[in-house]
């Protein structure tokens, strides 16, 4: 059994021949591009709704509170401003991975339809950015959970 593409450390070295995109791979990539385009468009719609919701939250809450007799006419403690900032923060946060998905979709489709290697390379760089974004986001969330857990453990031991 000959392993001529083995490197001394046991890893594989790059193949010497050019990578060929088969018809099956092309189909999979085109279907992936269609689904990622759909997901990106839906993502942009929801981002738009978050932005609209951010600026109308106060008015919606005031109109809902007006329906309850004896309810205060204003939202206490500036929660309207806090909610606006919160929604705008998440709209901006979700904008970038949604944009990466959309760029992956459009560049993949263009690359496969016109045989452009540059567009396919750019498409995969956008896909990499999409997963890198969500990976970093997950690490941040896990770190926050860990800090909350540690804080809870320290608080519990200090109280009891």
C-alpha–C-alpha distance, residues 41 and 101, integer Å: 9
Look at 2-6, 83-87, 98-102, 130-134 and tell me which has the smallest mean pLDDT: 2-6
Q: pLDDT-derived band of residue 8, with 50, 70 and 90 as boundaries?
A: low
How far apart (Å, rounded) are the C-alpha atoms in residues 129 and 110?
A: 19
What is the pLDDT averaged over residues 111-121? 93
Q: Say if residue 140's pLDDT is above 80.
A: yes
pLDDT digits (tens, 9 = 90+) for 70-112: 666 556 656 778 888 999 999 999 999 999 999 999 999 999 9
Lowest mean pLDDT among 77-91, 115-129, 138-152: 77-91
Q: Would the pLDDT of 7 be above 60?
A: no
Instruction: Please answer whether residues 148 and 154 qualify as being in contact, where contact means their C-beta atoms are separated by less than 8 angstroms.
Output: no
Among the residue ranges 53-67, 80-94, 120-134, the one predicted with the least confidence is 53-67
DSSP string, 71-114: --SS-GGGHHHHHHHHHHHHHHHHHHHHHHHHHHHHHHHHHHHH
pLDDT recorded at residue 1: 47
Strand, coil or helix: 143: helix
> Phi/psi at 8 (nearest 5 deg)?
-55, -35
* CA 130/CA 102 separation, integer angstroms: 10
Examine the pLDDT at 138 and tell me if it is beyond 80: yes
Q: Where are the domains of the chain?
A: 24-128
Position 82 scores a pLDDT of 86
Q: What is the pLDDT of residue 108?
A: 97
The answer to whether residue 53 scores a pLDDT higher than 70 is yes
Length of the chain: 160
């Amino acid at each position: 059994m000959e392993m001529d593409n083995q490197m001394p450390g046991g890893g594989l070295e790059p193949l010497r021949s050019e990578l060929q995109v088969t018809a099956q791979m092309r189909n999979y990539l085109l279907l992936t591009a269609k689904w990622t385009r759909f997901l990106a468009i839906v993502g942009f719609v929801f981002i738009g709704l978050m932005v609209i919701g951010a600026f109308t939250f106060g008015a919606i809450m005031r109109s809902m509170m007006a329906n309850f007799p004896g309810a205060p006419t204003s939202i206490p403690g500036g929660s309207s401003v806090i909610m606006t900032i919160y929604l705008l923060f998440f709209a901006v946060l979700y904008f970038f991975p949604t944009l990466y998905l959309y760029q992956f979709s459009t560049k993949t489709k263009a690359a496969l339809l016109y045989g452009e290697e540059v567009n396919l390379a750019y498409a995969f760089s956008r896909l990499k950015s999409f997963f890198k974004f969500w990976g970093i986001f997950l690490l941040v969330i896990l770190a926050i959970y860990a800090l909350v857990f540690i804080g809870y453990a320290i608080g519990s031991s200090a109280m009891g």
